[in-house]
Amino acid sequence: MDPSLNPFIKPQGVVVVGASSNPSKLGYGVARNLVNSGFKGGIHFVSQRKGNLFGRPVHVSLQDVPDPVDLAVLIVPAPAVTSVLKQCQERNIHAAIVISSGFKEIGEKGALLEDEMSRKAKEANIRLLGPNCIGLLDTHYPLDTTFLPPPMPVQGDVAFISQSGAICAAIIDWARGQGIGFSRLISMGNQADLTETDMLTAVAEDENTRVLTFYIESICNGPQFVKEAARISRIKPIIALKAGRYESGQRAAASHTGALAGQDNAYQAAFEKAGVFRAKSSEEMFDWASTLASCPLPTGRRIAVLTNAGGPGVIAADALEAVNLSLAQLSPITIEKISTLLPPAAGLNNPIDMLASASPQIYAECLDLLLSDGDVDGVMVILPPPPMHSAEEIALSLLSVINGSSKPVVIALMGDQLIKNASLVFRKARIPEFRFPERAASALAVLAARAEFLEKVDQDLPRPSNLNLPASLKILEGISRGTWLDQSSTMELMENYGIPVPDARLAVDAKQAEEIAAKMEFPVVMKIASPDIQHKSDVGGIMLNIRTRQEAEQAYNILISTVKGSRPNAVLEGVHVQKMVPEGQEVIIGSIRDEQFGPMIMFGSGGVEVQGLKDISFKLAPLRESEIEDLLNSTWAGKKLHGFRNIPSADADVVKDILNRLSWMMMEISIISEIEINPLRVFANGAVALDVRVKV
């Protein structure tokens, strides 16, 4: 961790500049929370008027504040922040939390103030958290520099870093009711200096933190975040809730890749690269966090369900399948032993339905048998309010069984008033409990995903030996920014990186088209050549299966005439003639350089229906072997390469090789902003890029 962050994490003394005795002021709330937190270091207050606050003197100048003090909390008007930072420098304070608002969040005037503040802080060697934040707290140190309403969060092992201050207050109150404890909470504000990545690193080193959670609206430095999160996620789980999931965020749709590579796909690819679990809701984020913090990891995805009612068991079975878990096939010995404990009408096929009469002892003995089964990786226990016993009695009976097992157990504790005491039992024992089976299934799924992630040892794929970077750079010399590369240069670029392309030649008149086609041997394909037309099929710019000289001459004239009619202002260079290639499976492979995260590689179903089907997946370059496998396994286009019913299998290995080559091209040639191969036609052996576009 950067040593300059130490005063934020473990300060020796804290001064609140802008402290107030008025309970309606934020300066009062910060002073109150700091005193009530139990912070053992120096606590100092500065205000415009002398006096006493919470039994401590209020100073009118930072120079009057005694040692120790190494962290300042500023709650002063935005225009005054810079002058206070100057005083901090004179007092040898090099860390400040700027709670004050009125900066870039209010517009241009505030942005100018923020720029000035950042510049002065950098000159003074002062690190800043904020501005426009609510501060930070640590329940273990302890420390609370926020103005949130008391009490402090429950002490725990989940850290929460948020780019929204308002969410912090709501989350703390909600989490307290759910029995979730926090280790640290950090509000980032405008991130004029310290970023989410800086604090991620600092929090990850906290021995009291087992799981890190994020509320993210944007990321300041995408590559830095991915690199640091990838390192940390091997040590501690990271869960992110990304807001703005359904904002368009799309680039200009000059290609299918550009149209489909929205902002959310970039974040998804970045989280996957970094090993960050992405939650769909706040509730799911903290369900996952509490489960990862307290449960052992499973060795597989086979789950047993233990219930005292049939309906919830069916719901659980559906919920498990929905998150790619499976119902365990219980061993005959396990089924036989359970049958001796239950009435004849009980259900012995997983889910195990013990019936409503199940006693605390029966619950415990059946759970013990399920956990002892070698074909069971984890158990969901469903506990609606039992008619013959209290839910609390059953909860108590399960504790020793669960605590003595190396397999995860989660509880679907269904109800409200009748299960409150049972809920307290499980929470005190740090056993995850949820109100419905769907949430319990989701929690089990993240445990399985975490186990699989930790088992995965993956490296970036090696650079193919036959890539010709110097020749490729020469092709691109002098090309204007925003230009689509001409066809002959594009084909040469592909050949330099070992991506197979058909032999295509430009004809500038009908006679030349006829001669080129005859030399190639029929049948041939003819495509309009124009820097202004990216989707040739949309304007009638492609003709297939041309078999004679006469057809070639006619095709040229038809293509020119048709395209002139539909795009009269387009520059037409002529027509490209290429050999008709055999039938095969068609996929799309593309890449676009994301502004935040760098080059993303796309794979999916190709041809004219790519945007209609949207059967696509993205990964950040450089690609790893497992990421290429994911690209194929997560799309229908990739799955059918292995054959399906009447669809013969195609060469998946050559597709993987081309994906790797494209990844290296984008990593090595930074002036390429976009590439699209659509379609890549894949045969039983080999493939060919039928149509390629490259944008600089």
Q: 167-171, 275-279, 640-644, 682-686: which has the minimum mean pLDDT? A: 167-171
The yes-or-no verdict on residue 454 having pLDDT over 60 is yes
pLDDT (mean) for 6-21: 97
Tell me which residue has tokens 């489909």. 260
Condensed to tens digits (0 to 9), the pLDDT of residues 468-482 reads 999 999 999 988 888
pLDDT (mean) for 484-498: 91
Cβ-contact 580, 543 below 8 angstroms: no
**4 CA to centre of own chain:** 28
Report residue 253's pLDDT band, with 50, 70 and 90 as the boundaries: very low
Q: 139-148, 307-316, 433-442, 507-516: which has the minimum mean pLDDT? A: 507-516
pLDDT (mean) for 248-272: 66
According to the model, what pLDDT value does residue 254 have? 47
94, β-bridge pairs: none
According to the model, what pLDDT value does residue 246 have? 61
**631 CA to centre of own chain:** 16
Condensed to tens digits (0 to 9), the pLDDT of residues 200-219 reads 999 999 999 999 999 998 89
Number of neighbouring beta carbons within 10 Å of residue 311: 11
Distances (CA, A) of 259 to 44, 365, 592: 55, 57, 10
The yes-or-no verdict on residue 252 having pLDDT over 60 is no
Q: Looking at the domain 3-209, which fold is it?
A: Rossmann fold (3.40.50)
Cβ-contact 293, 337 below 8 angstroms: no
According to the model, what pLDDT value does residue 645 have? 85
pLDDT (mean) for 277-287: 95
How far apart (Å, rounded) are the C-alpha atoms in residues 333 and 223?
Answer: 53
According to the model, what pLDDT value does residue 373 have? 98
Report residue 521's pLDDT band, with 50, 70 and 90 as the boundaries: confident
User: Secondary structure of the chain: what % helix, strand, coil (to 5)?
Assistant: 40, 20, 40
How far apart (Å, rounded) are the C-alpha atoms in residues 265 and 278?
Answer: 12
Q: In 341-493, where do the E strands start and end?
A: 352-353, 378-382, 409-412, 433-434
DSSP run (H or E) holding 553: helix 549-566
Condensed to tens digits (0 to 9), the pLDDT of residues 55-74 reads 999 999 999 999 999 999 99
Strands 598-605 and 585-594: antiparallel
410: left (phi over 0), alpha (psi -120 to 50) or beta: beta
pLDDT (mean) for 226-232: 96
Strands 378-382 and 302-307: parallel
**663 CA to centre of own chain:** 20
Q: Tell me which CATH homologous superfamily contains domain 585-695.
A: ATP-grasp fold, B domain (3.30.470.20)
Which tokens hold the place of 23? 């309970």
Residues 6+ apart with CB under 8 A from 154: 139, 175, 176, 179, 180, 181, 182
How far apart (Å, rounded) are the C-alpha atoms in residues 38 and 223?
Answer: 39
Distances (CA, A) of 182 to 99, 158, 173, 203, 437: 21, 5, 11, 12, 25
According to the model, what pLDDT value does residue 427 have? 95
Which residue in 448, 442, 454 sits closest to 299, CA to CA?
Answer: 448
Number of neighbouring beta carbons within 10 Å of residue 583: 9
Q: Which value, to the nearest 10 degrees, does the dihedral of the CA atoms of residues 107, 113, 115, 119 take? A: -170
Residues 6+ apart with CB under 8 A from 35: 43, 54, 56
According to the model, what pLDDT value does residue 245 have? 67
Condensed to tens digits (0 to 9), the pLDDT of residues 100-121 reads 999 999 999 999 999 999 999 9
According to the model, what pLDDT value does residue 478 have? 85
Query: Domain 503-580 is in which class?
Result: alpha beta
Cβ-contact 630, 275 below 8 angstroms: no
Which residue in 293, 290, 321, 288 sits closest to 305, CA to CA?
Answer: 321
Omega cis (within 30) before 523: yes
Distances (CA, A) of 273 to 114, 257, 382, 470, 493: 33, 20, 35, 29, 28
Cβ-contact 584, 681 below 8 angstroms: yes
Residues 6+ apart with CB under 8 A from 503: 520, 578, 579
The domain limits of the chain are: 3-209, 296-455, 503-580, 585-695
Report residue 20: phi and psi, to 5°.
-140, 150
The yes-or-no verdict on residue 261 having pLDDT over 80 is no
pLDDT (mean) for 140-148: 96
Condensed to tens digits (0 to 9), the pLDDT of residues 601-652 reads 999 998 766 666 689 999 999 999 999 999 999 999 999 999 988 899 999 9
Which residue in 504, 312, 508 sits closest to 413, CA to CA?
Answer: 312
The yes-or-no verdict on residue 672 having pLDDT over 60 is yes
Number of neighbouring beta carbons within 10 Å of residue 529: 24
How far apart (Å, rounded) are the C-alpha atoms in residues 524 and 526?
Answer: 7
pLDDT (mean) for 168-180: 87
Q: In 503-555, where do the E strands start and end?
A: 504-507, 524-529, 542-546
Long-range contacts of 206-210 (CB under 8 A, 24+ apart): 206/9, 206/159, 208/140, 208/157, 208/183, 208/184, 209/157, 209/158, 209/159, 209/183, 209/184, 209/236, 210/157, 210/158, 210/183, 210/236, 210/237, 210/292, 210/293
Q: Looking at the domain 296-455, which fold is it?
A: Rossmann fold (3.40.50)
The yes-or-no verdict on residue 537 having pLDDT over 90 is no
The yes-or-no verdict on residue 388 having pLDDT over 90 is no
In the chain, the largest separation of any two C-alpha atoms, in whole Å, equals 100
Distances (CA, A) of 694 to 31, 479, 492: 59, 12, 11
Report residue 580's pLDDT band, with 50, 70 and 90 as the boundaries: confident
According to the model, what pLDDT value does residue 275 have? 96
Cβ-contact 596, 219 below 8 angstroms: yes
Mean pLDDT for the chain?
93
Report residue 119: phi and psi, to 5°.
-65, -45
Cβ-contact 463, 630 below 8 angstroms: no
Cβ-contact 126, 4 below 8 angstroms: no
Report residue 262's pLDDT band, with 50, 70 and 90 as the boundaries: low
Answer yes or no: same fold for 3-209 and 296-455.
yes
Tell me which residue has tokens 């004219």. 608
Is residue 626 helix, strand or coil? helix
Residues in the chain: 696
